[in-house]
């Protein structure tokens, strides 16, 4: 009989009994996403590497207690986010107000830029300059918006799973996701408007 | 944004709309609004494109080889490194 697998296709019984091949498969599957999540949160390669290692060490010690209610991905991201938050508090104790900063902004609408750039040619949308703008825009996001955007839109978690990974309500995740997407969209709109203006004056 | 208040209400549902998470009633209301409001259509389309561009970039991400090597060594998984 086939043994049950986690929702993301791993054998929990193998992981619990220390099967190295299965653990290696887990590391291979999630290490890139975890490393880049940590890198975005901490902006430091060494810190991101530390978080990456700590996440898998903690996970390897905790498989026995994992009940499989969430996917392993959600569980691993939760460990990684908590490790990163702890490190952020250690690095800059005053800067991590995690949740409060965002909630207090409720009700403030982001300025809305109406520039229709979605049908620009691919070569412009994916130029080196645009890629720099993407990076700058994401770096400017408050960490509490950045983590939601990364888990949901880049790492593909559902709203429910992102809420579990971040220990937030689904409503809070949705609010932050909307705000993150609006801000990123707005930064890109400003950039494409500027480059259009630049072109028209050339 | 011809009816500013209305558009602002719609703005709150945009993310849910893109994720397919709206109730059928709200979805219909938003789509009716989008038919008549070019500005909101632009916001929806450019928001979708924004997410798509980030996803394209994210798919290209990798780990520096040395970081991967040290990770596998720390986990005692050297034999399984691809």
Domains and CATH numbers, chain A: 12-91 (1.10.1740.10), 100-201 (1.10.10.10)
The residue with tokens 């060490």 is A57
Whether B46 sits inside 8 A of A116 (CB atoms) is yes
Exposure of A164 in the CB half-sphere (CA atoms within 13 A): 15
Q: Which pLDDT belongs to residue A6?
A: 85
Alpha carbons A160 and A177: distance in angstroms, whole number: 12
Q: What is the domain count for chain B?
A: 1
DSSP secondary structure letters along A43-87: --HHHHHHHHHHHHHHHHHHGGG--SSS-HHHHHHHHHHHHHHHH
Query: Residue A5: beta bridge partners?
Result: A11
- Containing domain of residue B72, as a range? 4-80
Retrieve residue A151's tokens: 């888990």
Tokens representing A116 are 């229709």
Prediction ipTM score: 0.89
pLDDT in tens, chain A (202 residues): 467 788 888 999 999 999 999 999 999 999 999 999 999 999 999 999 999 999 999 999 999 888 888 889 999 999 999 999 999 988 876 665 554 444 444 445 556 778 888 888 888 888 999 999 999 999 999 999 999 999 999 999 999 999 999 999 999 999 999 999 999 999 999 999 888 888 888 7
Query: Measured between beta carbons, which residues in chain A are less than 8 angstroms from residue B76?
Result: 20
pLDDT, residue A145, reads 96
Could you give phi then psi for residue A64, rounded to 5 degrees? -60, -35
Query: What confidence score (pLDDT) does residue A8 get?
Result: 87
Task: Give the closest-approach CA distance of A20 to chain B in angstroms.
Answer: 7
Q: Which residues on neighbouring strands pair with residue A11, listed in sequence order? A: A5
How far does B40 lie from chain A, in Å, by closest CA? Answer: 8
Count of other CB atoms within 10 angstroms of residue B73: 12
Contact residues on chain A for B21, CB-CB shorter than 8 A? 159, 174
Residue B2: predicted pLDDT: 45
Rounded to whole angstroms, the Cα distance separating A33 from A147 reads 12
Q: Which two tokens stand for residue B69?
A: 């090597």
Chain B positions in Cβ-Cβ contact with residue A178 (cut-off 8 Å): 11-12, 14-16
Q: Are A35 and B21 an interchain contact pair (Cβ–Cβ within 8 Å)?
A: no
> A185: which 2 tokens?
């969209």
Shortest distance, CA B45 to any CA of chain A (angstroms): 6
Q: What is the pTM of this model?
A: 0.89
Looking at residue A95, its pLDDT comes to: 60
pLDDT score at A24 = 97
* pLDDT 10s digits, B35-76: 999 988 999 999 999 999 999 999 999 999 999 999 999 999
pLDDT of residue A159: 95
């Amino acid at each position: 009989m086939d043994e049950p697998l986690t929702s993301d296709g791993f054998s929990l019984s193998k992981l619990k009994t220390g099967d190295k091949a299965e653990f290696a498969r887990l590391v291979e599957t999630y290490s890139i996403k975890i490393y880049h999540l940590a890198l975005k949160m901490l902006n430091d390669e060494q810190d991101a590497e530390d978080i990456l290692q700590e996440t898998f060490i903690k996970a390897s010690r905790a498989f026995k207690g994992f009940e499989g209610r969430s996917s392993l991905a959600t569980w691993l991201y939760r460990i990684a986010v908590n490790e990163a938050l702890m490190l952020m508090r250690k690095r800059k104790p005053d800067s991590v107000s995690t949740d409060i900063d965002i909630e207090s902004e409720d009700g403030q609408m982001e300025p809305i830029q109406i520039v229709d750039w979605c049908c620009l040619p691919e070569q412009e949308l994916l130029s080196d300059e645009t890629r720099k703008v993407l990076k700058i825009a994401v770096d400017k996001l408050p960490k509490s918006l950045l983590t939601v955007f990364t888990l949901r839109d880049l790492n593909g978690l559902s709203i429910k799973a992102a809420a579990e990974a971040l220990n937030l309500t689904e409503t809070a995740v949705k609010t932050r996701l909307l705000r993150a997407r609006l801000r990123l969209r707005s930064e890109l709109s400003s950039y494409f408007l500027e480059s259009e203006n630049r072109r028209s004056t050339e | 944004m011809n009816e500013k208040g209305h558009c602002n209400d719609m703005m709150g549902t945009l993310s849910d709309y893109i994720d397919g998470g709206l109730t059928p009633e709200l979805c219909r209301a938003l789509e009716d609004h989008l038919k008549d409001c070019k500005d909101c259509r632009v916001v929806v389309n450019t928001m979708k494109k924004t997410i798509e561009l980030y996803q394209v970039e994210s798919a290209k991400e990798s780990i520096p080889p040395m970081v991967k090597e040290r990770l596998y060594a720390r986990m005692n998984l050297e034999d399984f490194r691809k």
